């Protein structure tokens, strides 16, 4: 049977659509101009990336959308070759706000549809124009919206053709089960996008997701940029891990490529974020080599359940996802 060349490096989602196994992340760090995201997105598409991971809260969809449209206009790709993900931010979880939030993203992007719309984190915040609504004491104002109601609104976005697929992010097993066991569920989440790297390899969550035909998508797969708003200063530097360095040397690759390849080989869709042209090209080359079973086992052995992205402001929220084992 001939493989469809477009689909070789894709996984089939539980709704029949295909997702490329390598994605390009568009989040810009503090102090980096938004135009950088546009430039990097164009470089990524030229390098071969077709899966672009973005979000409303990144506040750069105008720039990223422009980059996509330029690459379509110059004939590099067709719209249907691209897989674009955006995310529903926490201030729009009330069911009546879900579709308008997606329509805002589409308007910024100047696209007719996205390929994937996901719930960014399971924690709702006070609705309004503020992305991070705070009270007089500077504390984030959270609220509780039943995620099953939010999910129903996402299902309607899919039915309306505004998104091809719908999924979740930063969900644990309990929250996934809450959606999967929802009476009258129309569509299962196609994916759960979570922090995942050799120090937090999510093996139990991965096994659970596979058993439900939900794709695990890895963010912070190269460790994390050290954004002081989200990440503690003294956290370990994944790419300086001696075992990764040794395996990389053996294959004539770099530690980042090994960390990405590790995910691909365990059936995880992996996002890579870089704004350097050299790195972007290197990151796409992970489809060109293979790790041995011994390499994989050695990397599995690095797991220490270390989380960069902990959502400390939501620890007391009923849907806080990180207090359970997985």
The SS3 assignment for 15 reads coil
Report the chain's terminal Cα–Cα distance, integer Å.
39
Helix (H, G, I), strand (E, B) or coil at 51: strand
DSSP state of 228: T
CA distances from 286 to 212, 254, 280, 289 (A): 27, 10, 11, 6
Q: Which of 58, 84, 262, 320 is catalytic?
A: 58
202 sits in the region (left: phi over 0; alpha: psi -120 to 50; else beta) called left
* E strand or H helix that includes residue 125: strand 124-125
**Rounded Cα distance, 206 and 194, in Å:** 10
User: Is 219 an annotated catalytic residue?
Assistant: no
Beta carbons of 205 and 194 less than 8 angstroms apart: yes
How far apart, in whole angstroms, are the C-alpha atoms of residue 240 and residue 140?
A: 34
**192 half-sphere exposure, CB direction, 13 A CA radius:** 29
Enzyme catalytic residues = 58
């Amino acid at each position: 049977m001939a493989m469809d060349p477009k689909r070789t490096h894709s996984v089939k989602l539980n709704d029949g659509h295909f997702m490329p196994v390598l994605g390009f992340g568009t989040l810009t760090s503090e102090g980096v101009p938004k135009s950088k995201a546009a430039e990097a997105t164009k470089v990524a598409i030229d390098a071969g990336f077709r899966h672009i991971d973005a979000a409303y809260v990144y506040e750069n969809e105008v720039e990223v959308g422009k980059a996509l449209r330029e690459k379509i206009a110059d004939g590099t790709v067709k719209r249907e070759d691209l897989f674009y993900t955006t995310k529903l931010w926490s201030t729009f979880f009330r069911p009546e706000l879900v579709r308008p939030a997606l329509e805002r993203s589409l308007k910024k992007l100047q696209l007719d549809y996205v390929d994937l719309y996901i719930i960014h984190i399971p924690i709702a915040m006070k609705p309004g124009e503020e992305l991070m609504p705070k009270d007089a004491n500077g504390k984030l104002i959270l609220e509780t919206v039943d995620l099953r109601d939010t999910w129903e609104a996402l299902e309607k976005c899919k039915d309306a053709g505004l998104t091809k697929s719908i999924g979740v992010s930063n969900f644990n097993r309990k929250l996934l089960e809450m959606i999967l066991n929802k009476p009258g569920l129309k569509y299962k989440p196609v994916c759960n996008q979570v922090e995942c790297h050799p120090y937090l390899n999510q093996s139990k969550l991965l096994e659970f997701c596979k058993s439900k035909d939900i794709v695990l998508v890895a963010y912070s797969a190269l460790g994390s940029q050290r954004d002081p708003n989200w990440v503690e200063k003294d956290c370990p530097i994944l790419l300086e891990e001696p075992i990764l360095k040794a395996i990389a040397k053996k294959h004539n690759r770099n530690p980042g490529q090994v960390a990405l390849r590790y995910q691909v080989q365990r059936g995880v869709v992996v996002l890579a974020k870089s704004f350097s042209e050299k790195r972007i090209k290197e990151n796409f080359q992970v489809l060109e080599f293979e790790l041995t079973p011994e390499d994989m086992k050695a990397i599995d052995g690095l797991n220490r359940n270390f989380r960069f992205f902990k959502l400390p402001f939501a620890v007391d929220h009923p849907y806080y996802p990180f207090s359970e084992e997985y």
